[in-house]
Structure 1
Amino acid sequence: MAKINLRPWREELRAEKQKQFIVMIVGAAIIAAGLAFLWKSDLDSRIDYQQSRNAYIKTASGQLDEQIKEIEDLKRKRDELLSRMQVIQDLQGKRPVIVRVFDELVQTLPEGLFYTDLKKKEDRIDIVGMAESNSRISALMRRFEQSDWFSDPNLSNVAAADNDRAGYSQFNLSVQQQTPEPEGEEKQ
């Protein structure tokens, strides 16, 4: 029987398989590195895209904050202007009132009586005057009661006048000023 040595063939086959195995490992490593590179570049591009979106949102919110501040400033200015307009309207509305008050003071004044001093504090008018008799002071108080512009007359002092005005009585009177309801308007 012939002796055949198959050993070198097996070693060559084993060496060939080992080369193929190394080539497959290197190929798998290259493919894995390529996939890792693609995955990392995709992740980096997504991060850059998200950062650009965040930057846009930050600038847009900064612009909105500025607009909100401008709106608040405009609202504050509007409120100030409205309050000024209200003050001006109130002043314009009350301007004829003082004229009416003085006119009513003259209309309620009976003969034989005159005022020497008038002082106004809020809605109260303090009057110092001279009268020929106490009945004239009573007539003045009745006229104040009947007036639409005055109420609650309060006589605090009646005294004889000094020697320069003999026969006169000096009086101190306070009265509340009120603004009558315009005609045609009724309280509801």
Structure 2
Amino acid sequence: MANINLRPWREELRKDKQNRFIALLIGAAIVAAGLSFLWKTDLDNRIAYQQSRNAYIQTASRQLDSQIQEIENLRRQRAELLARMEVIQDLQGKRPVIVRVFDELVRTLPDGLFYSDLRKTGELVTVVGMAESNSRISTLMRNFERSDWFQSPNLTNVSAADDRRAGYSQFNLSVTQTTPEVEEGDEQ
């Protein structure tokens, strides 16, 4: 008779192969889950690192913006201070000039003539005054012409004075104020 094995070895072999397949499948799933967890963790760490770098850059950018604003404020204040200093220096430099102009106005004034109003607009000095005669007005204009501090006298109006100043003539005159050149060795 033939040797018949009644044991279900094929089924056991199939069951054994199936168990190994399931174990390999579970192992592969565990390894895949582990790798995906590691990949996700690494990705989260990289995102967190980049976000921290972005936050640092934004903070540094805000600090630089505030420093730039502060620098602009300081530049504006510096410009204002320089403008003030320039005005003060200009006024300090012109202070003796004003005194010299008034002194020259008195020196050019002939007898029998007086000023009733003086106005200065830029470099133009407008004079309103009273004179005993028209020849005194002519003398005043010649004095202005000879002066180093004035030039181009222009008589705009001569009229008889009101009743209180009978015999006087009222005049309007404009003259350009100049600053004479300082010669070497000559001080003002």
The TM tier, using the shorter chain, reads: 0.7 to 0.9
Q: Deviation at 1:156?
A: 2.6
Cα RMSD (Å): 2.3
Residue 138 of structure 1 corresponds to which residue in structure 2?
138
Q: 1:4 to 1:92 in 2, by over 3 A?
A: same
Matching of residues 50-129 of structure 1 within 5 Å: 50-110=50-110, 112-122=111-121, 123-129=123-129
Query: Is this contact kept in 2: 1:130–1:170, CA < 8 A?
Result: yes
Deviation digits for residues 135-167 of structure 1 (CA, Å, limit 9, x no counterpart): 332222122122221122122333455677665
Q: 2: distance between equivalents of 1:9 and 1:41?
A: 47
Q: 2: distance between equivalents of 1:161 and 1:14?
A: 142
**Paired residue secondary structure (1:36):** helix
TM-score by length of 1: 0.84
Q: 1:160 to 1:16 in 2, by over 3 A?
A: closer
Query: Is this contact kept in 2: 1:115–1:127, CA < 8 A?
Result: no
Deviation digits for residues 123-145 of structure 1 (CA, Å, limit 9, x no counterpart): 33232334444333222212212
Q: Deviation at 1:180?
A: 2.6
Deviation digits for residues 80-122 of structure 1 (CA, Å, limit 9, x no counterpart): 1111111111111111111111111122223x33213131131
Give unmatched runs, 5+ long, in structure 1.
Answer: none
Q: 2: distance between equivalents of 1:164 and 1:116?
A: 16
Q: 2: distance between equivalents of 1:16 and 1:168?
A: 143
Residue 17 of structure 2 corresponds to which residue in structure 1?
17
**Paired residue secondary structure (1:154):** strand
Q: Deviation at 1:40?
A: 0.8
Q: 1:164 to 1:20 in 2, by over 3 A?
A: closer
**Paired residue secondary structure (1:95):** helix
Residue 174 of structure 1 corresponds to which residue in structure 2?
174
Which amino acid is the alignment partner of residue 23 of structure 1?
A
Q: 2: distance between equivalents of 1:125 and 1:4?
A: 144
Is 120-129 or 93-102 further displaced after alignment? 120-129
TM-score by length of 2: 0.84
1:40 matches 2:49: no
**Paired residue secondary structure (2:51):** helix
Is 26-35 or 121-130 further displaced after alignment? 121-130
Residue 29 of structure 1 corresponds to which residue in structure 2?
29
Q: 1: distance between equivalents of 2:165 and 2:9?
A: 158
**Paired residue secondary structure (2:8):** helix
Q: 1: distance between equivalents of 2:95 and 2:178?
A: 14
Q: Deviation at 1:3?
A: 4.5
Q: 1:118 to 1:97 in 2, by over 3 A?
A: farther
